[in-house]
DNA sequence: CACCAGGAATGTA
DNA sequence: TACATTCATGGT
């Protein structure tokens, strides 16, 4: 019973579908606006709580800047910097967010990016300063509907605790999951979400912005 | 006041 | 390849 699929089925039985916990992230149908919020949120939440990232997202929304195109069109980072300050790392996050938004606009927007090849898009994302493997895969899986399995600290701890593997390296651990799971976007989202929910409880922070 | 939340880049050997 | 250090904020 020490296999990923079996453990996944147990999680599903114990906790239910991930849409119940994170509807904004796990719903199969999402608006472009919703997808853009997820992408923007991923930069903001790096090494910070969702609570702080949500304050920054709320500031962007109130400033009518919760949009990839609008951020990419900014002439200066000054306003962006003050708006997202609650998310911390004010000397790097504004530039990272701007660069990511600019890339997406140059690629033709989120809807065009969704048509692209997953490997190409992933390597394009990783070439951006401030986008590492976890951010790239989260964007691919939750915003672009691509089968990218997300590895995070919860996944590493869970894998070790359940006796699957002690591997900590991002891509090696990801490879383990890819080899032991059928390629299925819904399954990837459910498992990633349920691993987190099972460890910290459903009441804990996640992206809130409407 | 100490501590928690928790990615990526950079530098070292 | 593997590990240490750096970057900032708001809540408890």
For residue A203, pLDDT beyond 90: no
Query: Which pLDDT value is given to residue A210?
Result: 64
Q: How far apart are the first and last CA of chain A?
A: 40
Between A23 and A44, residue with greater pLDDT: A44
Question: Integer distance in angstroms from CA A8 to C1' B2?
Answer: 38
Name the nucleotide with the smallest C1'–CA separation from A47. B6
Q: How confident is the model at residue A147 (pLDDT cuts 50, 70, 90)?
A: very high
Tokens standing for A58? 């709320």
**Res A170 pLDDT > 90:** yes
A193 CB inside 7 Å of strand B = no
Tokens of A4: 């990923």
Query: Residue A20: its pLDDT value, please?
Result: 87
Give me the pLDDT at residue A21, please.
87
CA of A131 to C1' of B10 (A): 15
On whether the pTM is more than 0.85, the answer is: yes
User: What are the φ and ψ backbone dihedral angles of A84, each rounded to 5 degrees?
Assistant: -100, 10
pLDDT over 90 (residue A139) = yes
Weakest mean pLDDT among A11-25, A89-103, A139-153, A182-196:
A11-25
Q: What is the pLDDT of residue A33?
A: 96
CB A173, CB A165: distance < 8 Å: yes
pLDDT band at A182 (very low <50, low <70, confident <90, very high): very high
Does residue A202 surpass a pLDDT of 70?
no
The predicted structure's pLDDT at residue A77: 97
Percentage of residues of chain A with pLDDT beyond 70? 96
Confirm whether any atom of chain B, the nucleic acid strand, is less than 7 Å from CB of A45. yes
pLDDT score at A136? 98
Please say if the pLDDT value at position A1 is more than 60.
no
Q: In sequence order, what are the residues at sequence separation of 6 or more whose Cβ sits closer than 8 angstroms to the Cβ of residue A3? A: A164, A180
What is the pLDDT at residue A208? 82
pLDDT at A200: 79
Rounded Cα gap, residues A149 and A175, in angstroms? 9
């Amino acid at each position: 019973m020490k296999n990923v699929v079996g453990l996944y089925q147990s999680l599903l039985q114990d906790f239910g579908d991930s849409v119940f916990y994170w509807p904004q992230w796990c719903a199969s149908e999402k608006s472009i606006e919703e997808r853009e919020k997820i992408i923007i949120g991923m930069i903001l939440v790096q090494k910070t709580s969702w609570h702080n990232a949500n304050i920054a997202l709320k500031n962007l929304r109130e400033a009518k800047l919760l949009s990839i195109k609008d951020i990419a069109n900014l002439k200066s980072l000054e306003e962006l910097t003050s708006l997202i300050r609650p998310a911390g790392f004010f000397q790097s996050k504004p530039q990272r967010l701007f660069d990511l938004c600019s890339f997406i606009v140059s690629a033709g927007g989120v809807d065009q990016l969704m048509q692209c090849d997953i490997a190409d898009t992933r390597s394009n994302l990783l070439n951006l300063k401030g986008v590492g493997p976890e951010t790239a895969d989260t964007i691919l899986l939750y915003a672009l509907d691509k089968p990218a399995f997300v590895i995070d600290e919860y996944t590493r701890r869970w894998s070790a605790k359940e006796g699957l593997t002690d591997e900590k390296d991002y891509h090696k651990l990801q490879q383990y999951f890819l080899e032991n799971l059928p390629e299925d976007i819904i399954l990837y989202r459910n498992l990633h979400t349920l691993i987190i929910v099972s460890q910290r409880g459903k009441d804990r922070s996640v992206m809130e912005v409407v």
